[in-house]
Amino acid sequence: MGKLKRSTKKSDLRWGFTTGACAAAAARAAVRMLITQKPFTDIEITLPNKDSARFVLERLEGTGPVLAGVIKDAGDDPDCTHGLEIQCSAQWSNENGIKLIGGKGVAQVTLPGLELEVGEPAINPVPRANITAMVLLELAQIEPQYRIGKGVELTFIVPKGEEAAKETTSERLGLIGGISILGTRGTVKPYSTSAYAASVTQSCQIASANGVDHVVLSTGTRSEKAGMVLLPELNELAFIQAGDFMGIGLRAAKRYQIQKATMVVMIGKMGKLVSGRMMTHVSGHAVRFDFLSQLAKEEGLTEKVYADIASANTGRHVLQLIQKENSKQKFLNRLCEETFNQAHHYVKQALDIEVLLIDFNGALLASFPVKEEKIMQNIDQKAN
């Protein structure tokens, strides 16, 4: 369990840590023991959001390989991974670098459409980078000439991961054999629906009270950052992480007489919003790929592509499928238009609404009303 050095600000609920943060802590502990051969009871890491956190070790066993374990504390988030032990087994390797392996209870990627290649363990890019950074800090303590072998091999294990994965939609997404190691911040925001919804409503209230008449509702950290880049003229109070509660954010903006709401979303959430599902949590309704396929057909995508969209695995997979299509831009703009129509109807036309679809790096892919100049600028930048 870690000590989280940050204020919850909008609620009294206790924040927690991601599986990625726990994996990074276990990895750093295992490698430290591998190097020093001296036992210890806790480990401090720097999280992806640059905060520091200290984790008490559940176990630290062996001298080579070393097995370290951390209990995942999700705070007041109703998360099926809460209480799981995230383990890392570290051993020296004759191969250069740091190799990450998925052991028992860590899912393997079996379908396209995610941030990882098929066959890879489901350890997402941000946790991978955090794990690597923490391990490099330990390896930096050794003079190269004294290092045993050329690299280190890290195997991540979640003993009860397969059982926990049954409570998620992971298998439907092609993540087989356990849970994913996730987290873009390292911390978990309390996800009590009533408390989180209240914080979104309160954020709109505060924005309105401070004279903000245009809010930007994002689905997470990456989309919020993208919104700040795309709309730099807006006050910081205008940016509200609505998360999966986009509908709550829209209605709160209406309630507090805010004039305009910009929705900044990525393809996964848009796959739900486009068919009127304003609550987009992973445990709720799935993406309507059949509906996306119909829109693709109407916008002139080839028969094979719109047929493949109907059986796609994820929103990311949809983007991969349309990459070479001449009508790609028309289709993406149409998604934004349909989302706009659903949102406009949801608030009974009481708000001026704008929809921005961004890619996984925060660049603008499409919008409604269409921002032709910004979209074309982004396309040109990618081409160069």
2 vs 106: which has the higher pLDDT: 106
Say whether pLDDT at 6 is over 60.
no
Q: Cα(219)–Cα(246) distance, rounded to whole angstroms?
A: 7
Give me the half-sphere count of Cα atoms (radius 13 Å) on the Cβ side of residue 371.
19
pLDDT in tens, 91-113: 999 888 999 999 999 999 887 77
193 vs 326: which has the higher pLDDT: 326
Q: Cα(157)–Cα(97) distance, rounded to whole angstroms?
A: 20
343 vs 146: which has the higher pLDDT: 343
Residues 193-202: contacts with CB under 8 Å, at least 24 apart: 193/245, 195/11, 195/13, 195/76, 196/11, 196/243, 196/245, 197/245, 197/248, 198/11, 199/10, 199/11, 200/240, 200/241, 200/242, 200/243, 200/245, 200/248, 200/249, 200/252, 201/248, 201/252, 201/255, 202/10
Least confident of 45-49, 209-213, 277-281, 316-320: 277-281
**Residue ranges, CATH 3.30.2110.10, the chain:** 2-188
pLDDT in tens, 293-352: 999 999 999 999 999 999 888 888 999 999 999 999 999 999 999 999 999 999 999 999
Say whether pLDDT at 284 is over 60.
no
Q: Cα(362)–Cα(108) distance, rounded to whole angstroms?
A: 27
197 vs 364: which has the higher pLDDT: 364
| 89 band by pLDDT with thresholds 50, 70 and 90 | very high
The first and second tokens of residue 343, run together, are 């949102």
Q: What pLDDT was estimated at residue 171?
A: 77
- What fold does the segment set 2-188 form as a domain? CbiD-like (3.30.2110)
Share of the chain above pLDDT 70, in %: 86
Q: What pLDDT was estimated at residue 338?
A: 94
Return the closest-CA partner of residue 208 out of 236, 237, 232.
237
User: In angstroms, what is the C-alpha Rg of the chain?
Assistant: 22
Return the closest-CA partner of residue 157 out of 174, 183, 178, 176.
178
DSSP string, 30-48: HHHHHHH----SEEEEE-T
Q: What pLDDT was estimated at residue 115?
A: 78
Q: What pLDDT was estimated at residue 12?
A: 59
pTM summary value: 0.67
Say whether pLDDT at 174 is over 90.
no
Q: Cα(332)–Cα(313) distance, rounded to whole angstroms?
A: 18
Query: What is the average pLDDT value for the chain, to the nearest integer?
Result: 86
**Cβ distance 263 to 217 under 8 Å?**
yes
251 vs 276: which has the higher pLDDT: 251
Prior bond of 65 cis (ω within 30°): yes
pLDDT in tens, 224-251: 999 999 999 998 889 998 888 899 999 9
Residue type, 204: C
